[in-house]
């Protein structure tokens, strides 16, 4: 059984003060996860760049920045968001794909590190604006490991194969670039350190081969993110210490032995915020049909991972952790879609209307993937600082929903 580090009575009080559904985040847990990464890789010149797409909430981003975390961005809005929380220059990694030139322009203005997704972008960017000080390209190895979520590298729209890497760095050299980086993002949400280590070796191997072939030194190697979290109660956390030792050994073999000392970057989102976010929702109805349905006031528009990925999120019931009587439920929302389900055939303490459910591990790719189908409105977000809750994003309102509509007589 997963436990939440926030006192149940405080969650209950919050649910009486503000309408459910809403998100809550544990601030200490988020910072502790960041520090775990930083401590594990303290043997090298390391920097973590938080994947802004995971939790683009300014309060959280600012707290991460205050703890020496950079921002990994992939869009104009994420660049501006990072700028507004005080991250500029090499505190921003911009790794986009199919990138509009105006987004590159903004990244240049912020002096961000740019990872080119395609070498054809290089000359176009130079022609329209200029090139960044550091030349970095995204690499997608042909035979990567553990790519179930991201997909077969040969089918991936991200990055370039090795032969295109060579062409790209040759071009950057011709354009007068003196500093270089190499980026790869190959996997997502794995707890298997063997997979991470094997992919890291592919990246290091490519960096060394390019260095020798083109006589360039890499300022940094970005091994990406994808460090997973234990969504199921029986799963164990990733062994960061052992993973760090594996990567350290590879670093020595590929770089130290060749008189190279590139910085190491990662860009995790889920690992930092995922376990420390919770969606709080209320049971509205219990419906007995071919199955028993627990209808809640959250829905797929509040958290879409179970519907689109079949993702598991643990669910607990406020005040019923010791209840022995259980039943199987499908926990469902109210959207006009049959996949609007948070759990299927899930054993839970016997539920009643007004029960408060806690959906766990939603701190990444939860609120950020919200949408407005059926006119549903995105929920509020709260941070727990160890003593009290603070609202860090209010819930959307009907006026917000209509605010972008132009013309017609809707307001008449």
DSSP 165: H
Q: Which H/E stretch holds residue 73?
A: strand 70-73
Query: Averaged over 139-163, what is the pLDDT?
Result: 79
Q: Over the stretch 35-55, which tens digit does the pLDDT of each residue have?
A: 999 999 999 999 999 999 999
Check whether 28 has a pLDDT greater than 90: yes
**Which fold would CATH assign to domain 88-268?**
TIM Barrel (3.20.20)
DSSP 380: E
Residue 382 to residue 364: CA distance in whole angstroms: 14
Query: Averaged over 331-345, what is the pLDDT?
Result: 97
- Where does CATH 2.40.37.10 sit in the chain? 8-24+274-402
Query: Averaged over 316-325, what is the pLDDT?
Result: 91
Res 410: pLDDT: 62
Q: Tell me the β-bridge partners of 115.
A: 95, 136
Residue 336 annotated in active site? yes
Query: Averaged over 75-87, what is the pLDDT?
Result: 98
Percent of the chain with pLDDT strictly greater than 90: 91
Q: Which H/E stretch holds residue 381?
A: strand 380-384
Q: How many CB atoms lie within 10 A of CB 378?
A: 20
Q: Considering 44, 69, 73, 336, which one is annotated as catalytic?
A: 336
Show the tokens assigned to 358.
């806690």
Q: Which H/E stretch holds residue 41?
A: none
Q: Over the stretch 215-271, which tens digit does the pLDDT of each residue have?
A: 999 999 999 999 999 999 999 999 999 999 999 999 999 999 999 999 999 999 999
Check whether 348 has a pLDDT greater than 90: yes
Check whether 412 has a pLDDT greater than 50: no
**Poorest-confidence range of 196-200, 340-344, 408-412?**
408-412
**Exposure of 316 in the CB half-sphere (CA atoms within 13 A):** 17
Q: Going by CATH, does the domain composed of 8-24+274-402 fall within 2.40.37.10?
A: yes
Residue 67 to residue 384: CA distance in whole angstroms: 18
Res 408: pLDDT: 64
- Where does CATH 3.20.20.10 sit in the chain? 88-268
Res 257: pLDDT: 97
CA angle 20, 12, 349 (to 5 degrees): 85
DSSP 115: E
Confidence of residue 151 (pLDDT cuts 50, 70, 90): low
Instruction: Find how far residue 10's CA is from the centre of its chain.
Output: 27
Q: Which residue has the tokens 């090298």?
A: 44
Contact between 362 and 302 under an 8 Å Cβ cutoff? The reply is no
Show the tokens assigned to 65.
């920045």
Would you report the helix, strand and coil content of the chain in percent, each value rounded to 5?
35, 25, 40
Nearest to 269 by CA among 50, 40, 31, 47: 50
């Amino acid at each position: 059984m997963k436990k939440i580090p926030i006192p149940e009575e405080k969650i209950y009080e919050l649910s009486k003060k503000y309408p459910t559904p809403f998100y809550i985040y544990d601030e200490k847990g988020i910072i502790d996860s960041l520090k775990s990464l930083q401590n594990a890789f303290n043997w090298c010149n390391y920097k973590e760049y938080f994947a802004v797409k995971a939790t683009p909430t300014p309060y959280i981003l600012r707290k991460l920045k205050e703890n020496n975390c950079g921002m990994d961005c992939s869009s104009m809005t994420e660049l501006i968001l990072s700028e507004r929380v005080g991250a500029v220059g090499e505190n921003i990694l911009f790794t986009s794909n199919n990138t509009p030139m105006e987004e590159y322009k903004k990244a240049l203005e912020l002096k961000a590190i740019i990872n080119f997704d395609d070498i054809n972008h290089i000359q176009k960017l130079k022609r329209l604006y200029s090139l960044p000080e550091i030349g970095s390209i995204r690499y997608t190895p042909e035979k990567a490991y553990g790519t179930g979520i991201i997909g077969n590298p040969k089918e991936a729209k991200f990055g370039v194969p090795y032969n295109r890497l060579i062409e790209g760095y040759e071009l950057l050299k011709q354009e007068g670039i003196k500093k270089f980086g190499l980026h790869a993002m190959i996997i997502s949400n794995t707890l298997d350190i063997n997979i991470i280590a094997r992919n890291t070796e592919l990246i290091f191997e490519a960096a060394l081969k390019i260095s020798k072939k083109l006589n360039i030194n890499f300022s940094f190697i970005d091994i990406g993110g994808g460090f997973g979290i234990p969504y199921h109660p029986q799963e164990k956390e990733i062994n960061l210490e052992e993973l760090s030792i594996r990567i350290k050994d590879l670093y020595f073999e590929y770089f130290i032995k060749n008189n190279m000392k590139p910085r190491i970057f990662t860009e995790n989102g889920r690992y930092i915020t995922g376990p420390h976010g919770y969606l709080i929702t209320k049971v509205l109805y219990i419906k007995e049909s071919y199955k028993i349905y627990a209808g809640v006031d959250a829905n797929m528009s509040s958290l879409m991972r179970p519907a689109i990925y079949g993702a598991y999120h643990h669910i607990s019931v406020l005040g019923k952790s010791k209840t022995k009587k259980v039943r199987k439920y499908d926990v469902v929302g109210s959207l006009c879609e049959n996949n609007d389900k948070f759990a299927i055939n899930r054993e839970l303490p016997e539920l009643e209307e007004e029960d408060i459910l806690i959906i766990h591990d939603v701190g990444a790719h939860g609120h950020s993937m919200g949408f407005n189908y059926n006119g549903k409105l995105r929920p509020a977000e709260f941070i727990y600082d160890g003593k009290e809750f603070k609202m860090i994003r209010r819930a959307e309102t009907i006026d917000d929903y209509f605010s972008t509509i132009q013309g017609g007589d809707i307001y008449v």
